[in-house]
Structure 1
Amino acid sequence: MTIFQQKRLVKTFYLILFLFIPLIVHLGFIQLVHGNEYKQKALEQRSLKVALEDVPRGGIFDRSGERPLTMGNREPRVVIFPEIILDKEKAVEKLSLILGRKPEELARYFEGRAGFLPFTLDYRQARQIKETGIPGLMVEEIYFRYGPAPLAAHVVGHLGPISDQAKLERFNNLGGKRYQLTDLVGKSGLEYFYEGQLKAGEPNNSARAYVDVYRNLIAGLGIQIENDRETGRLDVVTTIDADIQQRVEKVMDERVQRGAVVVMDARNGDLLAMASRPNFNPANIALSLPGDKDTFLDHCTALYQPGSIFKVVVAAAALEEGLVKPSDTFVCLGEKDHLISCWHKSGHGPITFEEAFAQSCNPVFAELALKLGAEKLIVYASAFGLESQTIIGYPVPGDKRQDMGLIGQPYNLVNSSIGQGPVLTTPVQLTAMMNAVVNDGVYIQPRLVKGLRDEKGRFKSHFPMGSSQKVISCETARELKRLLNLVTSRGVGKEAAVPDYGSAGKTGSAELAGGSEKVNAWFCGFAPSERPRYIVTVLVEEGISGGATAAPVFREIMEGILLPLH
């Protein structure tokens, strides 16, 4: 070898060494700084894992941020790792004796993947299973998302499977989170609207078995419980008050087969309760599928004719425009009236406007609507939020059947004046409308969600309180509140009177198609009558009348939710 070749060889050696130094330094850095981390990841790749929660998702909480509306709970369950159980037949036999179940019923769980069994355990059974000492067989508490009596089922929604490969691909494009066909996803309500935020990348708590290539437990590691891992899930914090929601649902279970109840905080437009009947249990959707076709319908956001509750809008417009004074006198001829028949068939005769409001006299409001004209009535209805189906944080698609402009079509104005004909509203909208009267004529957009927070309790996004707008003057609002008090003190809404607190509101009885004697019975009102705290709207489908059917439900709910304030 020549000197020239030797020099070139030395230069090549140093060049290669120079190029490899950064790589060697980097590998050394990884070994020193991240060695344990990569070692742990390598172990985890060979491990077997069981999620200690049935559905890894963020929670849906009430306004306190502490109480899950799903009413989830922890229950002891048998956790099995079939791959590391050496004598499966013996394990099945022992478990069969403890659980009191047939061996063939249990055997299939020992042939599949690691998981937990669907059988409830009492304290004695849990102790006996632990005492078997069988590696790969253990008892752990599993968190179940839905408890036996979840709240606000229609608002929270329910989960279901991903039905096909195309939908799986759409879910995987939501925003970085990976889905499998075996995952459960939101099908309705908040579970659906916030699917991408609620979904967890992995379980918060899990049991992990560290095994070697032969599926033997690694000495010193064995099976470990991993808690409080960051999973990428977010919680939804609503405005619902769990105590108020429970009270509402209890009353509805006793008195309302079909209908809705909405409770709003009069101070800020927050929705404190939304309950719909018929109900369903999201923990077991299959039980509800053969039931009523409206079981999964959220009646709180569905469209209905409001009946005489719409007279609040007519009265507000007529007072604001100076077309009527409380003492003005009208004549009601009952069912013979030339404009529209009155529910009081013999007629009220001469009647003042304030009495007509208290007694819900149809001809008087038909006459006022004609004086107002359709155009102005439409403007006021819209200003009171009866054309906005928006609820902050709850993006329910709007129902295009709602069109206050139809009031202006020929022959519609008279029927519209009593909340029939083309007038369609939701219980939430009527609640917000009444709240505008309570708040001196200021309409506040309803809100259902306060924000989204991460696993450390930090809010990642906020939904501010609803925007507001002046609808009527303070003077008109004050007069309306006085008239609404007359309804419960000496009018058709006496059954809604709340002792000790006072209440006010308006009845509604919306006729049903087909000439049925039944009506959709309404009451929408507030309490206490001085410094109102809550607005409550009650809808009972196929009732007798607003005063006879819905008003007593209103009173019972108000008595329950006002008591803690007292």
Structure 2
Amino acid sequence: MRYFQQKRLVKTFYLIILLFLPLVTHLGFIQLIHGDTYKQKALEQRTLKVALEDIPRGRILDRQGMQSLTMGKKEPRIVLYPQIIRNKEEAIHKLSRIIGRSSEEITPFFNGNSRFLPFSLNNREVKEISELNIPGMMVEDINFRYGEMPLAAHVIGHLGRISEMGTLERLNGLGTKKYTISDLVGKTGLEYFYETQLKAGEPANFTRAYVDVYRNLISGLGIQKENNNDTGRQDVITTLDFDIQKTVEKIMDKRVQRGAVVVMDARTGDLLALASRPNFNPANIVLSLPGEQDTFLDHCTTLYQPGSIFKVVVAAAALEEGIVKPTDTFVCLGEKDHLISCWQKSGHGPITFEEAFAESCNPVFAELGIKLGAAKLIRYARAFGFESQDIIGYPVPKDRRQQLDLIGQPYNLVNSSIGQGPVLATPVQLTAMLNTIVNNGVYIQPRLVKGIKNEKGVYSYHFSLGDSRKVISFETCRELKRLLKLVTLQGVGKEAWIEGFGSAGKTGSAELAQGAEKVNAWFTGYAPNDNPQYIVTVLVKEGISGGTTAAPVFREIMESILSSSH
């Protein structure tokens, strides 16, 4: 009998073990795997917290990874825990007197949640508020994402609230980071393209108040300033040069009301500056030129008729194919020419090809376009990148209007040969085209983003330099460089000549409408002449001509860049 009792006890013991094993396993799983998560949730429930940054988000940095293009700043602000403050009326009265704000303006903040207040403080105010020693009210430095006027606003883009539940669901389905309907997310530019990398799950710096159930500060803990080195945010490292970008934008603010400027490193194809006008401030887009339709348009990546700049492609193809030599002679009859009228209404008369290039003579290039034929012209335009809108690290959607095959349609070849008609290009594409000549016939794909860095400063993703391909021969490039120098030395681009360094390039004047007095004025060029360092393309919308309007802007920008780098 006793044997059977012992046997039943053993079975009962094993049954209890079997029943409790899943529970023990589950508790172990919670403790070992999710212990930190639940510990953090418990901490959040019994403490109050104020982030010491306005937007917990990774930075968008210059090529050195040092300067923030949003020009972020740090300013002292009042950090308020209204739940802790016992005598609110007295605190409101004292604060009102110090910062010169009415009690009515301040009171709502004392009835809300913990936060930092939006009032700027001077040194006196900081000192006097700190001397009040009111538990639950203090002054801390707050990191703000935007300064007074961020650089490269169109490239950076801007933030906005999540406007649709579908967007919220899509973002929450992309990874481990959680979004709420009140979050600020990227709407355009790099802010949009790298949203999930930039977003921080937690603020990097914050103050935490340790309180009991009655919202009394716990003795010995009180309010502490804490740091978090694992917020999940990453930084975007661009190729933009902070000083060059700043120089370009300063000059554009004076001289370009509408248009674009692109600066490229002549060796690597990296984009050192991209600037569009009219401009906007990402910190407050509501106040940015209301009513302006193209305020947020990135003109650097928008298609325009390139005008006579496209003659560089025609010249390259004609020289490469042996259709023309620099000394070949043509006749320009001006507005009476049978193919197309020239900007020089009286005509240039007998003119050599090299003179026609320097003077941007339309009839000569129309004749060359016909000799080349549409098929060859299309092939060379493609080789120069006129159907590749790709920029490394900057996935702007392709504009389907750019269709080089339209050059081959009836009646299009002549206009296409002077950069009108169906020929469209972005300022970035024109810059890459000229860089091909600088690099002795090798096309290099433009790059805007170098990579993504995590919070430890290590690249989590790196974008390599652009792919390259041979487009035209070294001999053709050497001749083109000589012709481009003639444009600035004695041709229509003399306003782009840079004393002490020299320069070379091409003007362009693209008609806006039949009979319109204004044109889209272009100049794209490089400097110095010997060992070129930079390619700069300037577009001034509604200008007089490329030589009159855009070339002087090119000269001022290039002089500023070169003088600061030598």
Identify whether the pair has TM-score above 0.5, normalized to the shorter chain.
Answer: yes
Corresponding residue for residue 87 of structure 2: 87
Consecutive unaligned residues of structure 2, counting only runs of 5 or more, are none
SS of the equivalent of 2:405 reads: helix
Cα 1:497–1:214 shift into 2, 3 Å? same
1:402 — aligned with what? 402
Q: CA deviation at 1:183?
A: 0.8
Q: State whether structure 2 residue 321 is matched by structure 1 residue 321.
A: yes
Distance 2:562 2:20 in 1: 76
Going from structure 1 to structure 2, the CA distance change for 1:253 and 1:36 (only over 3 Å counts) comes to closer
What is the CA-CA distance between 1:43 and the residue it aligns to? 3.0
* 1:281 alignment counterpart: 281
Measure how far apart 1:514 and its partner are. 4.9
Match of 2:261 in 1: 261
Indicate the percent of aligned positions where both proteins have the same amino acid: 74
Say if 1:44 and 1:210, in contact at 8 Å, map to a contact too: no
1:92–1:238 Cα change, 3 Å: same
Counterparts of 1:27 and 1:367, CA distance in 2: 84
Q: Which residue of 1 aligns with 2:446?
A: 446
The residue aligned with 1:392 is 392
**Shift of residue 15, structure 1, vs aligned partner:** 6.3
User: Can you list the C-alpha shifts for 1:298-327, whole angstroms capped at 9, x where unaligned?
Assistant: 000001100100000000000000000000
Provide the rounded CA distance (Å) in 2 between the counterparts of 1:307 and 1:31: 69
**Matched residues in 1 for 2:43 and 2:372: separation?**
78
Which position in structure 1 is the counterpart of 2:534? 534
Q: Mean Cα displacement is larger for which, 147-156 or 284-293?
A: 284-293
What letter is aligned with 1:46?
R
Is 2:183 the counterpart of 1:183? yes
Q: Hey, what's the Cα distance between the residues in 2 that align with 1:29 and 1:385?
A: 56
> Do the aligned partners of residues 106 and 374 (structure 1) sit closer, same or farther apart at CA in structure 2, a change above 3 Å counting?
same
The aligned counterpart of 1:119 is: 119
| Alignment match, 2:103 | 103
Aligned 1:208-247 pairs, distance under 5 A: 208-247=208-247
Residue pair 2:229, 2:455 contacting (<8 A) in 1 also: no
Task: Give the structure 1 partner of residue 470 of structure 2.
Answer: 470
- Counterparts of 1:192 and 1:333, CA distance in 2: 52
Q: CA deviation at 1:354?
A: 0.3
Contact 1:508 1:523 in 2 (8 A): yes
The CA deviation at 1:515 is 2.2
Structure 2 distance, partners of 1:311, 1:198, is: 42
* Number of the residue aligned with 1:153: 153
TM-score by length of 2: 0.96
1:436 and 2:436 aligned: yes
C-alpha distance in structure 1 between counterparts of 2:29 and 2:113, whole Å: 38
- Displacement of 1:22 in angstroms is 11
TM-score normalised according to structure 1 size: 0.96
- Alignment partner, residue 489 of structure 1: 489
Q: Which residue of 2 aligns with 1:68?
A: 68
Separation of aligned partners in 1, 2:509 and 2:526: 18
| Corresponding residue SS for 1:200 | coil
Structure 1 pair 18–474 and aligned structure 2 pair: CA distance change class (3 A): same
Quick one: distance in 1 between partners of 2:165 and 2:65?
36
TM-superposed CA distance for 1:71, in Å, is 0.6
Cα distance in 2 between the residues matched to 1:466 and 1:345: 43
Whole-Å separation in 1 of the counterparts to 2:34 and 2:437: 64
- Classify the secondary structure of the residue corresponding to 2:351: strand
Please tell me whether the aligned partners of residues 203 and 229 of structure 1 are also in contact (alpha carbons under 8 angstroms). no
Deviation for aligned residue 1:228: 3.7
Q: CA RMSD in A?
A: 2.2
**1:165 Cα deviation from its structure 2 partner:** 2.3
Give the aligned residue type for 1:371.
Answer: K
The reply to whether residue 271 of structure 1 matches residue 276 of structure 2 is no
| 5+ residue gaps, structure 1 | none
- 1:509 is matched with 509
Q: 2-side partners of 1:216 and 1:514: how far apart?
A: 76
Question: Secondary structure, in 3 states, of the residue corresponding to 1:160?
Answer: strand
Provide Cα deviations, 1:88-123, integer angstroms capped at 9, x if missing partner: 222111111111111111111111111111110001
Q: Distance in 2 between matches of 1:406 and 1:21?
A: 74
Instruction: State the 1:44 CA deviation.
Output: 3.3
Deviation of 1:28 after TM superposition, in Å, equals: 10
**Superposed, which structure 2 residues align to 1:340-355 within 5 Å?**
340-355=340-355
The 8 Å contact of residues 261 and 273 in structure 1, kept in 2 or not, is answered as: yes
Summarize deviations over 1:324-362 as a string: whole Å, max 9, x none. 000000011111111111111111111100000001011
Query: Given residue 409 of structure 1, which amino acid in structure 2 is its aligned partner?
Result: Q
Provide Cα deviations, 1:99-151, integer angstroms capped at 9, x if missing partner.
11111111111111111111100011111111111111111111110100210
